[in-house]
């Protein structure tokens, strides 16, 4: 996953506008769209266009992931064994929620990119059906997330400024938590051997 600070994203959106928003929806998803809504609230962009561009980026990106899954999914899965946990999670959700999953996967953190990829490998899901549900889901998602960034712009701006004040402490905490998680995983791996 590509990690970019919210300050960098905000700068990209203010500088490159809708193009940054379009490209950003492929990598950062809701973060860039929330910032797009925020910059619309601040007067740099127009909210309806933020929604349209977020829709185009989200819809197109997920169609690409679906296509890759349809054409090369099994081959890629055999090379990337770490993906299997995500794939199994998506399969369980698909069995339980089916069409709702196709509409709402964008709203579930951690499965956004993997879901269209996995859905494509399920040949019961026809391409036309995915396109329809993808379009509806992308429309809902882009409207909700863009409007959220717009409506809560002041609160988000304050939160971002407060986060800057504690940036070093937050980075240190994330680093320590990462080391602890890594240590626990190594301990468990060694115990199972």
Query: CA 109, CA 19: separation in Å to the nearest integer?
Result: 24
In this prediction, residue 14 carries a pLDDT of: 72
In this prediction, residue 184 carries a pLDDT of: 85
In this prediction, residue 59 carries a pLDDT of: 95
Query: CA 14, CA 20: separation in Å to the nearest integer?
Result: 9
By the 8 A CB rule, do 67 and 77 touch?
A: no
In a structure prediction context, what are the per-residue pLDDT tens digits for the chain, which is 193 residues long? 444 555 666 677 777 888 888 888 877 678 888 888 988 988 889 999 999 999 999 999 999 999 999 999 888 888 877 787 878 888 788 888 888 888 888 888 778 888 888 898 887 889 999 999 999 999 999 999 999 989 887 675 666 666 666 666 666 777 788 788 888 878 877 776 6
* 35 exposure class (CB count in 10 Å sphere: 0-12, 13-18, 19+): buried
In this prediction, residue 97 carries a pLDDT of: 85
pTM of structure? 0.72
In this prediction, residue 1 carries a pLDDT of: 41
């Amino acid at each position: 996953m590509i990690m970019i600070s919210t300050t960098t994203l905000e700068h990209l959106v203010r500088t490159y506008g809708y193009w940054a928003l379009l490209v950003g929806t492929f990598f950062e998803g809701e973060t860039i769209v929330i910032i797009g809504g925020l910059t619309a609230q601040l007067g740099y962009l127009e909210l309806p266009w933020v929604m349209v561009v977020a829709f185009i980026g989200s819809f197109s990106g997920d169609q690409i992931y679906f296509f890759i899954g349809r054409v090369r999914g099994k081959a890629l899965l055999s090379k990337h064994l770490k993906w299997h946990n995500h794939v199994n999670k998506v399969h369980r959700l698909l069995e339980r929620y089916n069409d709702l999953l196709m509409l709402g996967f964008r709203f579930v953190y951690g499965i956004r990119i993997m879901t269209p990829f996995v859905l494509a490998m399920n040949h019961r899901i026809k391409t036309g059906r995915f396109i329809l549900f993808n379009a509806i889901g992308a429309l809902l998602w882009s409207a909700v997330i863009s409007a959220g960034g717009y409506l809560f712009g002041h609160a988000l701006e304050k939160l971002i400024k407060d986060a800057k004040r504690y940036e070093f402490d937050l980075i240190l905490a994330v680093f320590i938590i990462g080391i602890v998680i890594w240590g626990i995983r190594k301990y468990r791996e060694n115990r199972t051997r």
